[in-house]
Amino acid sequence: MSVLLDASTRVVVQGITGRQGAFHAQRMAEAGTAVVAGVTPGRAGAAVDGLPSVPVFNTMAEAVSDTGANVACIFVPPPFAADAILEDISAGLELIVCITEGIPVIDMLRVMPVLRGSSSRLIGPNCPGIAVPGAQVKVGIMPWEIHAPGRVGVVSRSGTLTYEVVQHLTDGGLGQSAAVGIGGDPIIGTRFTDVLELYEQDDETDGIVLLGEIGGGDEEQAAQFIHERVTKPVSAFIAGKTAPPERRMGHAGAIVSGSEGTAAGKEAALREAGVLVGDTPREAVELLAAQLS
Amino acid sequence: MNVHESDARRIFADRGLPVPPSRVATTPDEAATAAAEFAGLVVVKALVLAGGRGKAGGVKLADGAEAARDAAQQILGLEIRGERVRRVLVAPAVDIEREIYLGVTIDRERQSAVVMASASGGIEIEEVAAATPEAIERIEFDVARGVDAWQARAVGFALGLGGRQVLAFVGILNGLVRVFVECDASLAEVNPLVVSPDGKLWAIDAKLNIDDNALGRRPALEQLRDADAEEPAEARARAAGISYIKLDGDIGCMVNGAGLAMATMDVVKHYGGEPANFLDVGGGAGADRVSAALSIILDDPNVRAVFVNIFGGITRADDVARGVLAARESMPRAVPLVVRLMGTNEAEGLRLLADAGIQAERSMDAAARLAVEAVR
């Protein structure tokens, strides 16, 4: 059993004819992912650089019925990305990974009720995607070489911070069962608690690294969940200890408002729940490593 | 992006909210003229984007033109949370029988749009939420559908409004929901919504915060941006697609990804340094943007070393290397440059840097320590 992706994963890339879509579709294929189709409205039949055998369709419904794709990866520009998610839900995809950064929040608020009424799972938006090294599958933009198969699950609100921690894990001889970036936006499809639940249930995961950041209350919610439901060791790093209040730190979701969403509050809640909290990303990895050895 | 109260009042009034008339004055004389126009008691308010202006002396009542002139004299030029007051708003004062809070925002925990209302108006909703959360009426709603009239009525009755007032309240609530959706707001707030002794409802304050991600499709709202209230360097960065926030330290940070950018600041601090800025060069940044970012960092005279921390995913290390090299050519002044470069197209990026004599670091911790040593 693996988390979210496995040998049955068949990926359709939305926006595959764009610069990012084409580049990362190739990297996914190189990692071993079955990239079976692309969708760009109006570009059916186009050739994708480096992936000559991957057919391009105008609509997601056609891509799914012709290729049996079951996972979508979205590289569509922000004004059109929510529509891409809605098209995927309608086409019945099991898993939708939305990489796009900068989607208007109202668009995501329109998506949420439709998503809740469906059987699709959304990861992101504004996320790096999912890597499952043991199954040789990645859906997203993370550099593949830094991963190694193993038994640590990573879950994070930030893309590059995930890479940072995966690199530390791999350097320290700890492979990953999966690395999941849930995204830095205020409205996202899958949250810390959902992924913690997957790792807790996964018999190939022994320990978890959680990477949070300032803003919102998801880390506090995660702490509560860990206290009640997670038996495996968890370590964490919270980014933004030095961030000034009331300023949006790049990610739309990363803002301290009043006394809410501070790094100190999140660290305290996680410690209270028995989580090993590192002062730096490296420390978070070392704390988990010591616990697992 | 925060919108000034004067603009928010107009936007609210356009959607049917009962907003008293107002004038904007840039001088005490203009304030006096405006007050004379309204006759009777007026309120003179500092037009600043920062909160807490009442406590900072930025709101005064004035009876008549001369008093309004004096009030404006005192308020204009004040500095409220670092923002100089250049304009005041003058509006007729409304007699207050009771004050209500009404706001529309995003509930992150419930992942939904929400209307919030409370019988305790005039104070910050966060204070009410902390002290008596049960005193807040909430309607979670689907933005595609809006709020049903019965839901709005129920809240009106729960606030203790009378029958005729409830009808007015429903119109106000729906108007505010329209503001929220049509302006891509992250917050649309009337605090307080006042009931005057004659039983009428008045929106005597207007707060509007626009989702930055939506400004591209809201050019009319983008026009409302107050460039003078923004750090020039931050404005320049925004135009280049870079998130930059100036801080007080001396180690300039250039990072890709918001989480890693925050972590970089934290790690610099952990090793005894002080970050000069937050900077996320943005996903997929090319050489041009990297070069622009370095130039913005170096325009801060406090910066005595630059720490470039890139872990490529959608951003490609070779593009970053080209940007760093181009920026180094035109660096306005020479400061130590510590580069940590990994990820997508790493080998090519490292080769480009090595050919130019830059030995890139592999570890963020080691690189942070080097940057801290460089400014000691």
**By mean pLDDT, which of A10-14, A214-218, B280-284 is the weakest?**
B280-284
ipTM above 0.85, yes or no: yes
- Strand blocks (E) in B4-124: 23-25, 41-46, 59-63, 79-80, 83-84, 88-92, 98-107, 112-118
What distance in Å separates residue A158's CA from the closest CA in chain B? 5
Q: What gap in Å lies between CA B167 and CA B174, rounded to an integer?
A: 11
The residue ranges of DSSP E strands in chain B, in sequence order, are 2-3, 23-25, 41-46, 59-63, 79-80, 83-84, 88-92, 98-107, 112-118, 136-141, 185-195, 201-203, 207-210, 243-246, 251-255, 277-280, 305-312, 337-343
Q: Alpha-carbon distance A268 to A246, whole Å?
A: 21
What's the maximum distance between 2 C-alpha atoms anywhere in chain B?
A: 79
- Helix crossing, B163-182 with B5-14: angle to 10°? 110
E runs forming strands in B108-203: 112-118, 136-141, 185-195, 201-203
Q: DSSP 3-state assignment of B12? A: helix
Cβ(B183)–Cβ(B148) below 8 Å: no
Quick count: other Cβ atoms within 10 Å of Cβ A109?
22
How far is it, in rounded angstroms, from Cα B30 to Cα B23?
Answer: 9
- Give CA–CA dist A53/B310, Å, rounded: 33
Identify whether A227 is a catalytic site residue: no
Q: Is the pLDDT of residue A282 over 90?
A: yes
Phi then psi for residue B226, to 5 deg, are -95, 95
* Contact: A216, B108; criterion CB under 8 Å: yes
Q: Quick check: B265 and A221 CB within 8 A? A: no
User: For position A245, what pLDDT does the model report?
Assistant: 84
pLDDT, position B229: 84
Contact of A75 with A13, CB cutoff 8 Å = yes
Which of B212, B211, B222, B207 is closest to B47 using CA atoms?
Answer: B207
CA-nearest residue to A128 within chain B is B313
Q: What is the rounded distance in angstroms from the CA atom of residue A162 to the CA atom of residue A183? A: 11
pLDDT confidence of residue A228: 97
Angle (nearest 5°) at CA A82 between A80 and A84: 70
> Tens of pLDDT along A136-146?
999 999 999 99
Q: Where in chain A is the domain with CATH 3.40.50.261?
A: 142-292
DSSP, collapsed to helix, strand or coil, labels residue B338 as strand
Region of residue B123 (left: phi > 0; alpha: psi -120 to 50; beta: else): beta
Contact A39, A85 (CB under 8 A): no
What element of type H or E holds B185? strand B185-195
Helix (H, G, I), strand (E, B) or coil at A101: coil
Distance from C-alpha of A143 to C-alpha of B222, rounded to nearest angstrom:
36
B266 with A240: Cβ contact below 8 A: yes
The domains found in chain B, sorted by start residue, are 21-92 (3.30.1490.20), 98-222 (3.30.470.20), 231-375 (3.40.50.261)
Residues 12-31 of A with CB under 8 A from B: 20, 24, 27
CATH T-level assignment (fold) for domain A10-123: Rossmann fold (3.40.50)
Catalytic residue among B5, B30, B83, B189: B189
- pLDDT per position as a tens digit, A166-188: 999 999 999 999 999 999 999 99
Beta-carbon contacts of A187 under 8 Å, excluding residues fewer than 6 positions away, are: A105, A108, A109, A112, B106, B108, B111
Q: How many other CB atoms are found less than 10 A from the CB of residue B220?
A: 8
Strands of the sheet with A34-39, listed across from one edge: A56-57, A34-39, A10-14, A71-74, A95-98, A121-123
Q: Tell me if the bond preceding B192 is cis, omega within 30° of 0.
A: yes
What is the average per-residue pLDDT within A18-26?
94
Chain B's closest residue to A27, CA to CA, is B344
**Choice among B83, B101, B244, B361 that is catalytic:** B101
Q: Model confidence over A50-88: pLDDT tens digits? A: 999 999 999 999 999 999 999 999 999 999 999 999 999
Instruction: Delimit the CATH 3.40.50.720 region(s) of chain A.
Output: 10-123
The per-residue pLDDT for B204 is 96
Residues of chain B whose pLDDT is less than 70?
A: none
Q: Measured between alpha carbons, how far is A214 from B130 in angstroms, rounded to an integer?
A: 19
User: Mind listing the pLDDT tens digit for each residue in B212-244?
Assistant: 999 999 999 999 999 888 888 999 999 999 999
Q: What are phi and psi of B272, to 5 degrees?
A: 95, 10
> How do B2-3 and B207-210 pair as beta strands?
antiparallel
Q: Between chains, do B278 and A250 touch, taking CB under 8 Å as contact? A: yes
3-state secondary structure A106-117: HHHHHHHHHHHC
Q: Which of the 8 DSSP states describes residue A186?
A: S
Residue B328: per-residue pLDDT: 83
In 3D, which of B343, B342, B337, B283 has the Cα closest to residue B314? B283
The model's confidence at residue A203, banded by pLDDT at 50, 70 and 90, is very high
- A100 pLDDT higher than 80: yes
C-alpha distance from residue A279 to each of A224, A236, A237, A255, B284 (Å)? 21, 9, 7, 20, 28
Residues B258-271 as b/e (b if ≥16 CB within 10 A, e otherwise) read: bbbbbbbbbbbbbb
Q: What 8-state DSSP symbol labels residue B21?
A: P
Backbone angles phi, psi at B224, to 5 degrees: -85, -5
A251 touches chain B (CB under 8 A): yes
From chain A residues 156-215, the ones with a CB under 8 A of any chain B CB are: 156-164, 167, 184, 186-188, 211, 213-214
B64: left (phi over 0), alpha (psi -120 to 50) or beta: left
Model confidence pLDDT, tens digit, residues A106-144: 999 999 999 999 999 999 999 999 999 999 999 999 999
Looking at residue B84, what is its pLDDT?
A: 92
φ/ψ of residue A188, rounded to 5 = -135, 160
Indicate whether A246 pLDDT > 90. Answer: no
Report the DSSP beta bridge partners of residue A130.
A139, A180
On the question of pLDDT at A249 being above 90, the answer is no
Other residues' Cβ atoms within 10 Å of the Cβ of residue A244: 13
Bridge-based pairing state of the strands A137-140 and A149-156:
unpaired
CA-based nearest distance B135→chain A, Å: 19
Is domain A142-292 given the CATH code 3.40.50.970 in the classification?
Answer: no
In chain A the first and final C-alpha atoms are separated, in Å, by 23
E strand residue ranges, B212-293: 243-246, 251-255, 277-280
Test B311 with A241 for CB contact under 8 angstroms.
Answer: no
Return the SS3 of A75: coil
Q: Give the one of B144, B214, B266 whose C-beta lies nearest to A104's C-beta.
A: B214
Tell me how many degrees the CA angle B234-B237-B239 measures, rounded to the nearest 5. 110
What single DSSP character describes residue B198?
T
Distance CA B341, CA B312 (A): 8
